[in-house]
């Protein structure tokens, strides 16, 4: 991570990576929902990223450094925004543990697929909402209310944390980028295959008057 960024820019840059990997997990969930093949162990790659990078490294910086600095500056530990953020971290941990247990199964029954789909979607919604609250409310509030001296001390602690976890962070960053890239490619291939299927369908059947409105009888768009 760029050492010229301040504490909040570093944390928000990490959020941006989470959003990319959440997109990959959502694509994976769509594949499960549509009956496509997803190896259970694929979930373990997401688990490794979210448990390692999002929880241990990122939430570690938040809970051990940022939140403690905010508590020192007068924010309550057991109520208000810090308590809500901690509860959401715990909720995320529970969902990732659930996905981990599913990922360790050699094969999935239909009930496992449904449970995995629901847990993956719940986790994506939870983390997206959590990121919005931190980016839009918690971090600006901390930046505004932490005294300069506390912010400098926090920046030093965040840099020390980054340096001491550099190797792990690098490997997890690579894993996150690989997941984002691989699942984006799968989504593109699927979209291409769907388009070709619809084009073929369109060449064999008349779309009638609906074609002029850009929606054909098979439900696809852009035939006009
Ligand atoms: Fe957080
Ligand atoms: Fe965060």
- Residue 194 within any structural domain of the chain: yes
Model confidence band, residue 189 (pLDDT cutoffs 50, 70, 90): confident
CATH number at residue 102: 1.20.120.520
pLDDT surpasses 90 at 194: no
Q: What's the average model confidence in pLDDT over 42-53? A: 97
- Residue 219 within any structural domain of the chain: no
pTM: 0.82
- Residue 102 within any structural domain of the chain: yes
Q: Which residues surround ligand 1, an ion (CB under 5 A)?
A: 62
- Residue 222 within any structural domain of the chain: no
Q: Which residue has the higher pLDDT, 213 or 143?
A: 143
- Residue 176 within any structural domain of the chain: yes
Alpha-carbon distance of 48 to 62, in angstroms, equals 19
Q: Which residue has the higher pLDDT, 4 or 130?
A: 130
| Separation of CA 109 and ligand 1 centre (Å) | 33
Model confidence band, residue 155 (pLDDT cutoffs 50, 70, 90): very high
Alpha-carbon distance of 193 to 111, in angstroms, equals 28
Q: For the residues of 177-217, what is the DSSP string, one character each?
A: HHHHHHHHHHHHHHHHHHHHHHHHHHHHS--GGGGGGTB-T
| Separation of CA 11 and ligand 2 centre (Å) | 6
- Residue 2 within any structural domain of the chain: no
- Residue 99 within any structural domain of the chain: yes
Alpha-carbon distance of 95 to 47, in angstroms, equals 10
Model confidence band, residue 203 (pLDDT cutoffs 50, 70, 90): very low
pLDDT at 201: 52
Q: How many domains does the chain have?
A: 1
- Residue 1 within any structural domain of the chain: no
Model confidence band, residue 180 (pLDDT cutoffs 50, 70, 90): very high
Domain hosting residue 207, numbered range: 7-213
pLDDT surpasses 80 at 196: no
Give φ, ψ of 27 to 5 degrees. Answer: -65, -40
Q: What's the average model confidence in pLDDT over 58-65? A: 96
| Separation of CA 23 and ligand 2 centre (Å) | 17
Q: Which residue has the higher pLDDT, 208 or 71?
A: 71
pLDDT in tens, 107-147: 999 999 999 999 999 999 999 999 999 999 999 999 999 99
């Amino acid at each position: 991570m760029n050492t010229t960024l301040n504490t909040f820019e570093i944390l928000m840059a990490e959020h941006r990576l989470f959003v990319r990997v959440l997109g990959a997990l959502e694509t994976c969930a769509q594949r499960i929902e549509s009956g496509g093949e997803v190896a259970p162990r694929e979930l373990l790659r997401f688990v490794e990223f979210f448990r390692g990078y999002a929880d241990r490294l990122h939430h570690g910086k938040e809970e051990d450094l940022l939140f403690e600095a905010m508590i020192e500056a007068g924010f309550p530990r057991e109520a208000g925004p810090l308590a809500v953020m901690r509860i959401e971290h715990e909720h995320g941990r529970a969902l990732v543990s659930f996905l981990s247990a599913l990922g360790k199964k050699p094969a999935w029954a239909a009930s496992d697929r449904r449970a995995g789909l629901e847990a993956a979607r719940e986790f994506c919604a939870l983390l997206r909402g959590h990121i919005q609250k931190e980016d839009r409310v918690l971090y600006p509030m901390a930046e505004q209310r932490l005294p300069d001296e506390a912010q400098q001390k926090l920046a030093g602690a965040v840099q020390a944390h980054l340096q001491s976890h550099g190797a792990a962070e690098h490997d997890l960053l690579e894993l996150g980028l690989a997941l984002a890239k691989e699942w984006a490619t799968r989504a593109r291939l699927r979209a291409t295959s769907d388009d070709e299927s619809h084009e073929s369908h369109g060449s064999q059947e008349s779309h009638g008057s609906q074609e002029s409105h850009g929606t054909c009888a098979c439900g696809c768009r852009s035939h006009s």
